[in-house]
Amino acid sequence: MTDDDAITIAINDVSYPILCGFCEAPIARRAEPDADREEVGCVLCGNWANAQEAGQLAVEFAKADAQLQLNRLARDATKSSSLLTFSGDTEHDRAHRFIVHFNI
Ligand SMILES: [Zn+2]
């Protein structure tokens, strides 16, 4: 792996680049003289985390986002129904430091 590789997480066997949660730019590795500590993040926002943490946060976002995408489908499906009603969140209720763009 080289420093030019995108930093990604796999969702359903597809790799998605991890993006900054604030400005949605793809995150990059920060060159560290100390090889034990690999930091990744957004140069523009100063949003840095160790590589493992950034990956975990992106996965957390992906899980939350998948649920919200499902909720939006359910909301839209029940809009025209007089029998079914939808209740639930359709937007993220908090900021995520690292995100991915994907569709369920
Ligand atoms: Zn950013």
Q: Please name the amino acid found at residue 27.
A: I
Average pLDDT over residues 37-55: 93
What separation in Å is there between the alpha carbon of 100 and the centre of ligand 1? Answer: 13
Domain membership of residue 104 (yes or no) is no
Classified as helix, coil or strand, 93 is coil
- Given a cut of 80, whether residue 5 has pLDDT beyond it is no
How far apart CA 20 and CA 48 sit, in angstroms, is 9
What separation in Å is there between the alpha carbon of 80 and the centre of ligand 1? Answer: 39
- Given a cut of 90, whether residue 26 has pLDDT beyond it is yes
Domain membership of residue 3 (yes or no) is no
| Higher local confidence (pLDDT), 4 or 50 | 50
- Given a cut of 70, whether residue 29 has pLDDT beyond it is yes
Residue 42 corresponds to which tokens in the numbers above? 């957004």
Q: Residue ranges of the alpha helices (H) in 1-104? A: 51-79
Domain count, the chain: 1
Q: CB atoms < 10 A from the CB of 62, how many?
A: 23
Domain that residue 48 falls in: 8-99
Domain membership of residue 22 (yes or no) is yes
Domain membership of residue 1 (yes or no) is no
User: Phi, psi (5° rounding) for residue 17?
Assistant: -65, 135
What separation in Å is there between the alpha carbon of 45 and the centre of ligand 1? Answer: 4
